[in-house]
Amino acid sequence: MAVAGWDALTVDMQHGTADYAGLLTLLPVIEKSGAAPIVRVPWLDEGSIMRALDAGALGIIAPMINTAEDAARLVAACRYPPLGNRSFGPVRARLAQTGYTVDAANTQVIPIAMIETCEAVDKLDDILSVEGLGGIYIGPADLSLSFGFSPGFDREEPEMLDLITDIQKRCESKNIPIAIHCGTPEYAARMVNSGFSMVTVGSDARFIEIAASSIVTKFRDMDQQSKSIY
């Protein structure tokens, strides 16, 4: 993944299998590739956020941000005083990031709030007013569930497309960068062309699943006599 040429790679500690020990292994590989290291924390939890930052994350994606108070907690956990309440102890970050200082960390770290529920959409204007918020990230699977659709990426329902466009326009009006998780490069390119600042295109697990299924299917189609494949 790291040598593929991504602008950023996210370690998913919410739905992925990585724990903190895995994070300490993965972040150096991401940094060496030149991609920006981002971590999606399991939940809006200051301890998890600060540990990920101390390990070297430059961006924090926090799930299920529903209110301005949630967003303010996220930003505060990513900023050293007087801008926030992050505790000083960058045990690995200070070694991984050249010229590490409190001011540099406060400038470089990007707090990104996931918008995934009806409540978050209703309170989006208040969320966008939180000073220091670095971006909004649409989680289409949970957002779809919240609005009565089956979960999934690359939404095409008119209601969901209108909702995504509304969130985008409200972010743009506040000059807040907006991101969205996509399932295909075609849909991701479409979102970028419509004005999205960042797009996630799939995941390592999905890439493996798709490639493995494709190879096995192709092999069995080519060799009908095959009894097993390894």
Active site residues: 15
Rounded to an integer, what distance in angstroms lies between the CA atom of residue 153 and that of residue 98? 37
How far, CA to CA in Å, does 190 sit from each of 117, 154, 161, 218?
A: 23, 10, 12, 29
First to last CA, the chain: 23
Rounded to an integer, what distance in angstroms lies between the CA atom of residue 116 and that of residue 130? 18
Q: Can you read off the two tokens belonging to residue 143?
A: 């957002």
Going edge to edge, which strands form the sheet with 178-182?
8-12, 36-40, 59-62, 110-115, 135-138, 178-182, 198-201
Cβ–Cβ under 8 Å, residues 129 and 174: yes
Q: Is the four-CA dihedral 97, 98, 99, 103 of positive or negative sign?
A: negative
Q: How many other C-beta atoms lie within 10 A of the C-beta of residue 138?
A: 25
Rounded to an integer, what distance in angstroms lies between the CA atom of residue 149 and that of residue 141? 9
The single residue listed with the structure tokens 């798709």 is 210
